Structure 1
Amino acid sequence: MGRDLKTRYQDYPNFKREFGHLEGDTVQGKNHQGAVTTLVERQTKVAIVLNSHTKSSQNVNRSLAAWLTKLPRHLFKSITFDNGKEFAGWRTIANQFDLNIYFAAVGAPNQRGLNENTNNLLRKDGLHHDLIMDQLSDEFVQAVASRRNHIPRKSLNYQTPLEAFVNQITDEQLKFLT
């Protein structure tokens, strides 16, 4: 079992107001054939969709590690997952990338409500329930995420999630991304 959400609030007293905290989950395809890993940054609502192909812990970890390797260290502070067995390898990701990983209570998807809502929106944008996801192209997966990240949101003062995200990136972090 991972770290409880109570610990998260102790570790990050300004959690609700600070940038860099992700909520994560997987979205499965038709008849559980394939999956993508989804992350959403809490302040900017930017959606990250990783083509993990399956819901196995090994594939989820592989896709998370490949993505995190491309980012500036400490851009993200924490990830909160549900208790699915696809996140069983969480310690590897936490140690390799110096991230705090927390887990919502069993049967409490509301503790990662933004991610659950984003997953529903991603389903409407192209990751439909009847889609077989183990053979999706990376281009298709990124196109679905891009569409979601380019829609202005009232809660972001009519900025897109991508605009809000870029506004949080420091010049030092930006150098690493180019």
Structure 2
Amino acid sequence: MRLSHESIYQAVYRPGTTLMRPSRLAPHSPSPLRTGRDHRKAQQRTDRRRPRFEHPMLTIHHRPFDPSDRSEAGHRDGDLIIGKDQGSAIGTLVERQTRSTLLLHLPQRDSEALHDAPATTMTGLPPGLVRSITWDQGTEMARHLKITKTLGAPVFFCDSHSPWQRGTNENTNGLSGITFSRAPT
């Protein structure tokens, strides 16, 4: 039998729970919680929450070519390699046909840094070598529409927990054995 945090919350908030007992600080409080609330509330108002990804979000199933088709240059698989203690990150973009790899320097691990890095790195490439990018559903690609607009290439997303859909990139990252840590400041 396992006990999760959700089970504890449900037990605390159940009407008529035996967990309710008056405390010295708030003997009149009908809630077992020090806040006095009788229900849980979200940490942020739902109308103020930012969605994880901008929409529309194109999936790998929207790509105009078969996953095994490598006949056309310019389609890239992307990923993020995280450094020691999650202190630093490098983005990788592997071209599917030639398997050439571009490394993206990321000063921070967020969507803004990941927008700037491909734009800086790929701006000098001929348009025929920047056709599409396929990435996983990590939060670093939350602003994918900006990348699409800047590069003129659509960003496609793999299905959740399906790294084999970007096999070229996963294989390249595994073969390179890249390990790094943040430089001392």
TM-score (norm: length of structure 1): 0.66
Cα deviation, residue 73, structure 1: 2.7
Q: Deviations over 1:33-89 (max 9, x none)?
A: 110000100111111111113321111111111112222234221100000000111
What's the counterpart of residue 12 of structure 1? 65
Listed as ranges, the matches of 1:19-30 within 5 Å are 19-30=73-84
Unaligned runs of 5+ in 1: 137-178
Which SS does the other structure have where 2:127 is aligned? Answer: coil
Two-structure CA RMSD over aligned residues (Å) = 1.9
Pairing of 1:49-60 with structure 2 (within 5 A): 49-60=103-114
Aligned twin of 1:120: 174
Contact residue 36 and residue 54 of structure 1 kept, 8 A: no
Rounded Cα–Cα distance in structure 1 between residues aligned with 2:165 and 2:139: 18
Aligned: 1:132 with 2:181: yes
Measured in 2, the distance between the counterparts of 1:5 and 1:83 equals: 11
Aligned length: 128
Which residue of structure 2 aligns with residue 37 of structure 1?
Answer: 91
Identity %: 33
CA distance in structure 2 between the aligned counterparts of 1:104 and 1:43, rounded to whole angstroms: 19
- Considering fraction of residues, name the structure with more helix: 1
Partner of 1:85: 139
Contact 1:74/1:98 (<8 A) preserved: no
Is this contact kept in 2: 1:65–1:93, CA < 8 A? Answer: yes
Change (3 A) 1:74 1:97: farther
Tell me: higher relative CO, structure 1 or 2? Use CA pairs within 8 A at least 6 residues apart. 1
Larger Rg: 2
Q: Is the 8 A contact 2:158 2:165 kept in 1?
A: yes
Q: TM-score, normalised by structure 2?
A: 0.64
Q: What is the distance in 1 between the residues matched to 2:95 and 2:60?
A: 17
Is 2:136–2:157's contact at 8 Å kept on the other side of the alignment? Answer: yes
Q: Distance in 2 between matches of 1:37 and 1:21?
A: 16
Question: For 1:138-168, what per-residue CA distance to the aligned partner results, in whole angstroms no more than 9, with x for missing partners?
Answer: xxxxxxxxxxxxxxxxxxxxxxxxxxxxxxx
